[in-house]
Structure 1
Amino acid sequence: MAPSVWGYSRIITGTVLGGILGFYVMHRVETSYKEKMKEQLAKYEAEMNRKAELDQQKFLKEEIRTDKAEILSES
């Protein structure tokens, strides 16, 4: 009877410790993945803001050109 009790306790202990280790590893993987995704999102937002700013500048330049052309054609 003693060997079977020892075997069961080893199985239970291994299962519990393996579950704790697995939970810890997955927690670390998830945390690092979320951090990486936050960094990529910040880069994407910065790029989109830069593109929107460039588009706005191009629009303003075109607006100025058309205004100049209208003024020159009127005179």
Structure 2
Amino acid sequence: MAPPGSRRWAYVRVMAGTILGGVLGFYVMHRVETSYKAMMEERLRRYEAQMLKRAKDAQNLQDEAERKDQAQLLPDA
């Protein structure tokens, strides 16, 4: 059987490793989450800009079609 001092040292190493591993894991997950959040915010900004552009393009097409319809209804005198 191992001497009592080495058993105590083993317990200390296990507890220290558990605590340090938990801290390291928390830090890594925190960094992953913050970088993911920043990436998703940028992606959302690009998506919203694209949707606004599509809406403007659709409105321009609709306005152009209405102008053509009115031009056909009201011939030049």
Q: TM-score, normalised by structure 2?
A: 0.92
2:56 matches 1:58: no
Aligned length: 74
Listed as ranges, the gaps of 5+ residues in structure 1 are none
Distance 1:47 1:63 in 2: 24
| Equivalent position amino acid for 1:46 in 2 | A
Find the partner of 1:27 among 4, 27, 30: 30
| Equivalent position amino acid for 2:59 in 1 | Q
Distance 2:6 2:54 in 1: 71
1:10-52 residue CA offsets vs partner (Å, 9 max, x unmatched)? 0000000000000000000010001001100100000000000
Find the partner of 2:40 among 34, 37, 41: 37
Q: Secondary structure at the match of 1:72?
A: coil
2:69 matches 1:48: no
Identity %: 43
Listed as ranges, the gaps of 5+ residues in structure 2 are none
2:17 matches 1:14: yes
| Equivalent position amino acid for 1:53 in 2 | K
Deviation at 1:72, TM superposition (A): 1.3
